Amino acid sequence: MNVKITNGETIHYQKRVSGENILLLIHGNFASSDHWDILMEQLPKEYTIYAIDLRGYGKSTYHTPIDSFNDFAEDIRLFCDVLHIQKCHVMGWSNGGGVAMQFAANYPTRVKSIILLNSISTKGYPALNSNGERMTTREEISADPMINRMLQAQKNKEKSFFEAALLQLMFVIKKPAESRFKKYIEAALNQRNIIDVANAANQFNISGGLKNITSPILILWGRHDLMVPEKMTLELVNEMKENSVSFIYKQLNTGHAPLVDDIDSIISELDSFLDITS
C-alpha cells in the first residue's frame, strides 16, 4: 500500500490488521519493510502492524534528499497524520532505532512505548576513515572507497556483492529462507540514499533530546552482532540511565538479524513488554 504525505513524498507500507493497539515498525539500513515479514506473520494478533519503507528505501519515493534522521521522523509524523494514527508503539531496528528515538523525542505524546532492536547508539553510527577516526563531513563520506564500492555494486546490479555482505555481517548465525533472502537483497539494491543516510547516521546525536522521551523503552541487543558492537549498545544504555529514561535492557543469543536468528525470543520479549505498556 502507498500513501502520499503532505511534503510530496509517497510512503509505501505493509499492514496487518488485527487488534486496537498499533505497532509501527521502522527498518534499518540496506533494508525495507520486507525485513519485518517474519515478525508480521508470527506476532500475536492483538496488534495492528504498520511496517513502512522510509524515504529512499523500498518502494517509497526519494524526491527530496534527507539531511538528518529528523527528516525521517517528520515523514513518520506525516504518515501517521494521514492514516489518523494518534498514538502507537514504535519499534526500530538498527538505524531505525535512531529514527524511533528521534520520533519519540519530537512527538512524545504520540508514542506509547519504544522497542530498540540492535539499535545504533544515541550518538549515532560513526563513519570512520582509514585511520579509524570519525569523519566530519558528507564530502568525506562520499569519497569513502567502501561507500563507492557499494554504489558501484548497486549501479551494476551485483546481487552477489550484497549477498556476500549480508551473509558476512547480518545473517551470521542463520541464513534466511531463499525466498525471503531474495527480497532482502533486492532491498539493498533498491536503496537510493546511501551517502545521505551514512552522513545522517554519523551526525545523529539524540543525547540532548532524551529528556523529551516519556515512553518506556525495551532495548534488545544480540551478543553476536557484528554491525552494532556491545560498546555502542552500552553507550545507549548508559545514556538512558543518565537521563532517567525508563528502560529494560535484554541481551539475546543472536546476531544483527534477530528476527531470523531467534524469532521466538523476540516475540516472547516483545509480547511481554507490549502487554505491560499498552
- Which of 84, 121, 82 has its CA nearest to residue 206? 121
Name the average pLDDT for the chain. Answer: 97
Q: Please tell me the predicted confidence (pLDDT) of residue 61.
A: 98
In terms of residue numbers, what domain contains 65? 2-277
Confidence band for 266, pLDDT divided at 50, 70 and 90: very high
Phi/psi region, residue 157 (left: phi>0; alpha: psi -120 to 50; beta: rest), is left
Q: Is the dihedral of CA 72, 15, 183, 266 positive or negative?
A: positive
The pLDDT tens digits of the residues spanning 105-163 come to 999 999 999 999 999 999 999 999 989 999 999 999 999 999 999 999 999 999 999 99
Lowest-confidence region among 1-5, 79-83, 188-192, 273-277: 273-277
Residue type (1 letter), 60:
S
Q: Please tell me the predicted confidence (pLDDT) of residue 20.
A: 86
CA dihedral 53, 24, 19, 210 (to 10 degrees): 180
Please determine, for residue 276, whether its predicted confidence score (pLDDT) is greater than 90. Answer: no
Confidence band for 32, pLDDT divided at 50, 70 and 90: very high
Confidence band for 210, pLDDT divided at 50, 70 and 90: very high
Instruction: Provide mean pLDDT across the span 32-41.
Output: 98
Q: Please tell me the predicted confidence (pLDDT) of residue 239.
A: 97
Strands 10-16 and 47-52: antiparallel
Q: Please tell me the predicted confidence (pLDDT) of residue 275.
A: 87
Q: Please tell me the predicted confidence (pLDDT) of residue 161.
A: 97
Total structural domains within the chain: 1
Give the per-residue SS3 of the chain: CEEECCCCCEEEEEEECCCCEEEEEECCCCCCHHHHHHHHHHCCCCEEEEEECCCCCCCCCCCCCCCCHHHHHHHHHHHHHHCCCCCEEEEEECHHHHHHHHHHHHCHHHEEEEEEECCCECCECCCECCCCCECCCHHHHHCCHHHHHHHHHHHCCCHHHHHHHHHHHCCCCCCCCHHHHHHHHHHHHHCCCHHHHHHHHHHCCCHHHHHHCCCCEEEEEECCCCCCCHHHHHHHHHHHHHCCCCEEEEEECCCCCHHHHCHHHHHHHHHHHHHHHC
C-alpha cell at 82: 494521514
Quote the CA–CA distance of 124 and 239 in Å, as a whole number. 12
Q: Please tell me the predicted confidence (pLDDT) of residue 18.
A: 86
CATH of the domain at 45: 3.40.50.1820
Bridge partners for 24 per DSSP: 50, 90
Is the pTM higher than 0.75? The answer reads yes
